[in-house]
């Protein structure tokens, strides 16, 4: 059962400034699990120590638990009581042993927090506050304990018993049961506890660390999935070696296990020595996983592994510091992925993701600082701001410090805070101390929400040879923060000569810290063109006075690949926005720029594929005061059609060239496949009569999922009679593979067809649709809600559908439901008819009796 919550009894707000040190520490805990899906008995023995001079009782968090017994120092406890969900135990001395026993029902746990059943196994998810659903405990990240865990279960159903740390013993018992014991020597907060019991097999390997210790690696899955684990295992080894080389971080236990589960609220979880993963970030083979999936698997494996230092060895003092581990770890995984393939393409992908999710969040009712000041439900703060903007903050500090000082600073941070629970402030202090650089003003990045805007104007004195760059910044108001102070914005800048196409300056790092500043460049002989925020050095919105000709010039001549991509994007964006405003598009400049890019054979295919892709409908919407989804769709489609027609020959050449490639997972082969699918979609956009058969041929002949899904996407968005055939073939072929069925749902939910709203409503009644599996929910409902035109259908049926689904889902899995609220919260950005309808659905959600705290917070804030 989910905690009941109504608007009348709004949940308590937790404030950062209310932080107090724990009253009791728990240096050790012994857990004894008698596992059974219907009823599991949990016996916990806590060694507790009074922290400081006070006479407060021991307070242990619980959620849905009632104690079967409470003992203190070996005898039945006197005077304990429940204060709401909290177990209060009066204690007289400085240190005691406290034992509790509870019973829980994993198979009835649909929230997927705490101990739950998935695909025949039992597993846990404790971050952020799931441990209190397993046993009574001070469930906060600054209470660190050494864990000893004993697991007992039926041997036939659960032959494998795993927990954190190193295995210390196992054996058989009467009645077909067996046991295993695990000890984790590293003190950890409760959110890093994990156990798994199941019928699993492992793909194993040994990794020898930099100091010569052997670590046994295991990726645990159900037997039929074993052949799909090589890529994840390989990525794990690469990650371990990378963290040694780049950050000097060595792994610290004798074993490192990863378990894949089919039902999981997030991507994966970094439990000490026992990562638990959503199976979509482990399982891959060419027939079922796309290149995108392969890259995402490597990135998530790396992310969770890197947490062993940035998160586990050094953890967070409280949940307001969440970005301390998440922002830093995302930055680390992004750097890792950049090192494996093309840094430029990786940066482009990351920035696209940042704009799609974080910029929208920062511009809406749920905007919050990277280090928030308050929350109702911490699960709602696993956001793009904490993760991705948080990563940008670390990136900016590394840019400002430079690589050597940055490494010195992270060394200092890991050394000083090893084994402790730290704060974002601790991290910044290490950056300052190691480099001697003052980051006082930079700290505003942690406290001020909203995406800064930079206005840039470049003036050139014809004869004087002097160019002056005028920069000004502003940070928009966000909820609770009406006015803002200026930030420190590290902007990489360079000037290029319009005539010669050559650089006129070297790259300069401008630290814009005043509201406005002028930067002077001397000896600029010809008219300069401005390249700014190169590499996306600051996560800001730049408004410049560069016209279409300047942007086209940069898209061909800039020597920073990101800036080159960015110039093309800006040109496309200006073109589409212009067409939305005026009703007619002037496509010439984009067509020529794309033609030049396609003709430039020095570019690698992955970059070309990114560069020629139009900005998304929603990114176009972000540029407009009022989003008109239909007008945006039409303007963007018209540009796509003209690009398809005018460059049909080029697209066909690119398509043929890429088709010649054999299947491989090298960056070059992946790039070729990416360009091939983009080319195919432009050929289809041109209206060429053979486009559908070309797509269908690719679909049928594909020897990998990238090509197959690429073709399916093109067919599913079109009107040819091959569409239904392809969808049916795909469904039949993969009907027993949940991860691929997710793609089948998602492809249809993202389709640009007029009837997508109806299709999605039908799919929600499909026998393979279930609200019980978060991946399935995200692939249909989540995907649909970001399909701008379909979701914002003028009838409001998209809004009604989403609200209906979320109200139903809230009863099953509030965490996953609450994450899907934000699209409705964008109502301010739409015309009044749509806005009214969106608000009405939010209100209906808020008014639902028994609403979860998670949903209440998201929906009520979204109404403001
Ligand atoms: N800490 C996990 C990660 O970022 C995410 C997560 C949060 C997973 C909460 C489950 C629950 O790696
Ligand atoms: Zn993380």
- For 426-468, the DSSP string reads HHHHHHHHHH----TGGGHHHH--S--EEEEEEEE-TTT--EE
Pairing assessment for the beta strands 453-460 and 541-544 based on DSSP bridges: parallel
For ligand 1, whether the C-beta of 392 sits within 6 Å is no
| Same-fold call for 317-447 versus 453-538 | no
Distance between CA atoms of 780 and 251, rounded to whole angstroms?
39
Class of domain 317-447: mainly alpha
Q: What is the pLDDT of residue 6?
A: 46
Q: Averaged over 826-847, what is the pLDDT?
A: 98
Q: Which of 534, 544, 533, 370 is nearest to 450 (CA)?
A: 370
Q: Using 50, 70 and 90 to split pLDDT, how confident is the model at 220?
A: very high
For ligand 1, whether the C-beta of 456 sits within 6 Å is no
Q: Using 50, 70 and 90 to split pLDDT, how confident is the model at 610?
A: very high
Q: What is the pLDDT of residue 462?
A: 79
For ligand 1, whether the C-beta of 127 sits within 6 Å is yes
Of the CA atoms within 13 Å of residue 793, those in its CB half-sphere come to 20
CA angle 330, 336, 337 (to 5 degrees): 90
pLDDT (tens digit, 9 = 90+) per residue, 272-316? 999 999 999 999 999 999 999 999 999 999 999 999 999 999 999
Which of 269, 271, 331, 385 for a ligand 1 pocket mutation test, highest count of atoms within 8 Å of Cβ?
269
Burial call 730-748: b when 16+ CB within 10 Å, e when fewer: beeebeeebbbbbbbbbbb
Neighbour tally for 479: CB within 10 Å: 14
User: Is the distance from CB of 353 to CB of 417 less than 8 angstroms?
Assistant: no
For ligand 1, whether the C-beta of 269 sits within 6 Å is yes
Express as a percent the part of the chain with pLDDT over 90.
98
Residue nearest to atom 2 of ligand 1 (CA): 269
Q: Averaged over 825-853, what is the pLDDT?
A: 98
Domain ranges across the chain: 25-199, 317-447, 453-538
Q: Using 50, 70 and 90 to split pLDDT, how confident is the model at 5?
A: very low
Q: Which of 189, 185, 424, 418 is nearest to 314 (CA)?
A: 418
For ligand 1, whether the C-beta of 325 sits within 6 Å is no
Pairing assessment for the beta strands 467-474 and 453-460 based on DSSP bridges: antiparallel
Residue nearest to atom 7 of ligand 1 (CA): 127
For ligand 1, whether the C-beta of 275 sits within 6 Å is no
Residues in a beta bridge with 677: none
Q: Using 50, 70 and 90 to split pLDDT, how confident is the model at 658?
A: confident
Compute, in angstroms, the gap from residue 269 CA to the centroid of ligand 1: 5
Express as a percent the part of the chain with pLDDT over 70.
99
Burial of 412 per CB tally in 10 Å (0-12, 13-18, 19+): middle
Q: What is the pLDDT of residue 90?
A: 98
For ligand 1, whether the C-beta of 792 sits within 6 Å is no
DSSP character at residue 485: P
Report the chain's mean pLDDT, rounded to a whole number.
Answer: 97
What stretches of 465-546 adopt beta strand conformation (E)? Answer: 467-474, 489-497, 508-512, 516-521, 528-532, 541-544
Ligand number nearest to the C-alpha of 268: 1
Catalytic, 304? Answer: yes
Residue nearest to atom 9 of ligand 1 (CA): 127
> Which residues are within 8 A (CB) of 218 and not within 5 positions of it... i.e. 6 or more apart?
202, 203, 204, 255, 256, 257, 258
Q: What is the pLDDT of residue 209?
A: 99
Is the peptide bond prior to 128 cis by the omega test (within 30 degrees of 0)?
Answer: yes
Kindly tell me if the per-residue pLDDT of 463 is higher than 80. Answer: no
Here the tokens at position 442 are 């930079």
> Which residues are within 8 A (CB) of 533 and not within 5 positions of it... i.e. 6 or more apart?
454, 491, 492, 493, 540, 542, 563, 566
pLDDT (tens digit, 9 = 90+) per residue, 405-462? 999 999 999 999 999 999 999 999 999 999 999 999 999 999 999 999 999 999 999 7
Compute, in angstroms, the gap from residue 441 CA to the centroid of ligand 2: 27
Q: Using 50, 70 and 90 to split pLDDT, how confident is the model at 65?
A: very high
Compute, in angstroms, the gap from residue 406 CA to the centroid of ligand 2: 21
What's this model's pTM, rounded to 2 decimal places? 0.98
What would be the CATH architecture of the domain defined by 25-199?
Sandwich (2.60)
Distance between CA atoms of 56 and 94, rounded to whole angstroms?
11
Q: Out of 99, 181, 270, 304, pick the active-site residue.
A: 304
Q: Which of 403, 387, 212, 219 is nearest to 307 (CA)?
A: 387
Distance between CA atoms of 176 and 669, rounded to whole angstroms?
51
- The CATH code belonging to domain 453-538 is 2.60.40.1840
Kindly tell me if the per-residue pLDDT of 10 is higher than 70. Answer: yes
Residues in a beta bridge with 50: 24
For ligand 1, whether the C-beta of 270 sits within 6 Å is yes
Here the tokens at position 848 are 């639902």
Ligand number nearest to the C-alpha of 123: 1
Kindly tell me if the per-residue pLDDT of 3 is higher than 60. Answer: no
Radius of gyration of the chain (CA): 28
Handedness of CA 652, 576, 493, 388 (dihedral sign): negative
Q: Averaged over 2-27, what is the pLDDT?
A: 82
Ligand 1 atom with least separation from CA of 270:
12
ipTM of the complex: 0.99
Torsion of Cα atoms, 385 then 803 then 766 then 113, to 10°:
50
Distance between CA atoms of 594 and 527, rounded to whole angstroms?
24
> Which residues are within 8 A (CB) of 620 and not within 5 positions of it... i.e. 6 or more apart?
573, 576, 577, 580, 632, 635, 636
Q: What is the pLDDT of residue 9?
A: 66
Q: 276 in helix, strand or coil?
A: strand
For ligand 1, whether the C-beta of 330 sits within 6 Å is no
Compute, in angstroms, the gap from residue 386 CA to the centroid of ligand 1: 12
Which of 267, 272, 301, 323 for a ligand 1 pocket mutation test, highest count of atoms within 8 Å of Cβ?
267
Q: Averaged over 696-713, what is the pLDDT?
A: 97
Distance between CA atoms of 193 and 271, rounded to whole angstroms?
6
What stretches of 254-344 adopt beta strand conformation (E)? Answer: 255-261, 268-269, 274-278, 314-316
Q: Averaged over 485-504, what is the pLDDT?
A: 97
Burial of 788 per CB tally in 10 Å (0-12, 13-18, 19+): buried
DSSP character at residue 197: E
User: Is the distance from CB of 376 to CB of 310 less than 8 angstroms?
Assistant: no
Q: Which residues surround ligand 2, an ion (CB under 5 A)?
A: 326, 329
Q: Averaged over 366-383, what is the pLDDT?
A: 98
Distance between CA atoms of 807 and 813, rounded to whole angstroms?
10
């Amino acid at each position: 059962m989910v905690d009941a919550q109504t608007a009348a009894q709004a949940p308590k707000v937790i404030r950062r400034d209310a932080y107090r040190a724990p009253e009791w520490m728990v240096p050790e805990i012994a857990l004894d699990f008698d596992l059974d899906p219907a009823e599991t008995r949990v016996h916990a023995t806590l060694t507790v120590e009074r922290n400081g001079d006070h006479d407060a009782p021991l307070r242990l968090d619980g959620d849905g638990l009632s104690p079967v017994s409470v003992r203190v120092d070996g005898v039945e406890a006197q005077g304990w009581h429940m204060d709401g969900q909290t177990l209060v135990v009066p204690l007289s001395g400085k240190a005691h042993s406290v034992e509790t026993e509870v019973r829980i029902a994993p198979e009835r746990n649909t929230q997927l927090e705490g101990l739950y059943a998935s695909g025949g196994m039992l597993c846990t998810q404790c971050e952020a506050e799931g441990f209190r659903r397993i046993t009574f405990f001070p469930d906060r990240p600054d209470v660190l304990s050494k864990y000893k865990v004993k697991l007992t279960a039926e041997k036939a159903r659960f032959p494998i018993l795993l927990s954190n740390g190193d295995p210390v013993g196992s054996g058989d018992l009467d009645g077909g049961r067996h046991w295993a014991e695990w000890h984790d020597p590293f003190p950890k907060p409760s959110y890093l506890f994990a156990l798994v019991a199941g019928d699993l097999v492992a793909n194993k390997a040994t990794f020898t660390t930099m100091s010569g210790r052997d670590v046994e690696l295991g990726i645990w899955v159900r037997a039929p999935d074993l052949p799909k684990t090589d890529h994840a295992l390989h990525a794990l080894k690469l990650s371990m070696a990378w963290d040694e080389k780049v950050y000097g971080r060595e792994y610290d236990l004798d074993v490192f296990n990863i378990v894949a589960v089919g039902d999981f609220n997030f991507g994966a979880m970094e439990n000490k020595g026992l990562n638990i993963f959503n199976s979509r970030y482990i399982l891959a083979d060419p027939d079922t996983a796309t290149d995108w999936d392969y890259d995402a698997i490597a990135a998530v494996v790396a992310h969770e592994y890197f947490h062993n230092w940035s998160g586990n060895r050094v953890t967070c003092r409280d949940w307001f510091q969440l970005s301390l581990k998440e922002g830093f770890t995302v930055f680390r995984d992004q750097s890792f992925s950049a090192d494996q393939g093309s840094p430029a393409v990786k940066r482009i992908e990351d920035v696209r993701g940042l704009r799609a999710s974080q910029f929208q969040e920062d511009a809406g009712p749920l905007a919050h600082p990277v280090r928030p000041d308050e929350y109702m439900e911490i699960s709602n703060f696993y956001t793009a701001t904490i993760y991705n903007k948080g990563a940008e903050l670390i990136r900016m500090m590394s840019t400002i410090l430079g690589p050597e000082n940055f490494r010195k600073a992270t060394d200092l941070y890991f050394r000083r805070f090893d084994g402790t629970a730290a704060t974002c402030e601790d991290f910044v202090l290490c950056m300052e101390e190691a480099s001697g650089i003052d980051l006082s003003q930079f700290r505003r990045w942690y406290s001020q929400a909203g995406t800064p805007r930079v206005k840039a104007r470049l003036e050139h004195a014809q004869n004087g040879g002097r160019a002056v760059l005028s920069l000004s910044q502003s940070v928009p108001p966000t909820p609770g923060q009406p006015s803002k102070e200026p930030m420190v914005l590290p902007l990489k800048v360079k000037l290029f000569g319009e005539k010669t196409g050559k650089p006129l300056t070297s790259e300069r790092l401008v630290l814009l810290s005043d509201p406005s500043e002028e930067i002077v460049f001397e000896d600029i002989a010809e008219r300069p063109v401005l390249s700014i925020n190169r590499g996306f050095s600051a996560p800001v919105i730049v408004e410049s006075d560069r016209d279409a000709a300047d942007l086209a010039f940069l898209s061909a001549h800039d020597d920073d690949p990101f800036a080159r991509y960015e110039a093309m994007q800006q040109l496309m964006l200006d073109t589409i926005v212009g067409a939305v405003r005026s009703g007619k598009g002037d496509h010439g400049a984009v067509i020529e720029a794309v033609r030049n890019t396609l003709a430039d054979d020095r570019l690698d295919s992955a970059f070309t594929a990114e560069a020629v892709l139009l900005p998304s409908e929603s990114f176009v919407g972000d540029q407009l005061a009022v989003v008109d989804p239909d007008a945006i769709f039409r303007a963007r489609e018209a540009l796509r059609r003209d690009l398809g027609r005018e460059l049909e020959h080029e697209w066909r050449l690119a398509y043929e060239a890429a088709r010649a490639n054999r299947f491989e997972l090298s960056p070059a082969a992946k790039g070729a496949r990416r360009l091939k699918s983009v080319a195919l979609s432009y050929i289809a956009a041109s209206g060429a009569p053979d486009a559908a058969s070309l797509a269908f041929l690719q679909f049928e002949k594909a020897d990998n999922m990238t090509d197959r899904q690429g073709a399916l996407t093109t067919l599913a968005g079109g009107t040819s009679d091959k569409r239904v055939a392809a969808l049916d073939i795909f469904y039949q072929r993969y009907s027993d593979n949940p991860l691929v069925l997710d793609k089948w749902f998602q492809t249809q939910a993202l389709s640009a067809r007029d009837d997508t709203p109806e299709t999605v409503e039908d799919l929600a009644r499909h026998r393979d649709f279930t609200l019980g599996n978060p991946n399935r929910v995200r692939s249909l409902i989540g995907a649909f809600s970001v399909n701008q035109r379909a979701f914002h259908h003028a009838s409001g049926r998209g809004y009604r559908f989403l609200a209906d689904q979320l109200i139903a889902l809230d009863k099953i899995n509030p965490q996953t439901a609450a994450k899907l609220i934000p699209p409705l919260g964008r109502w301010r950005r739409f015309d009044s008819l749509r806005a009214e309808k969106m608000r009405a659905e939010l209100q209906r959600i808020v008014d639902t009796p028994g609403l979860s705290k998670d949903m209440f917070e998201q929906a009520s804030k979204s109404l403001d």
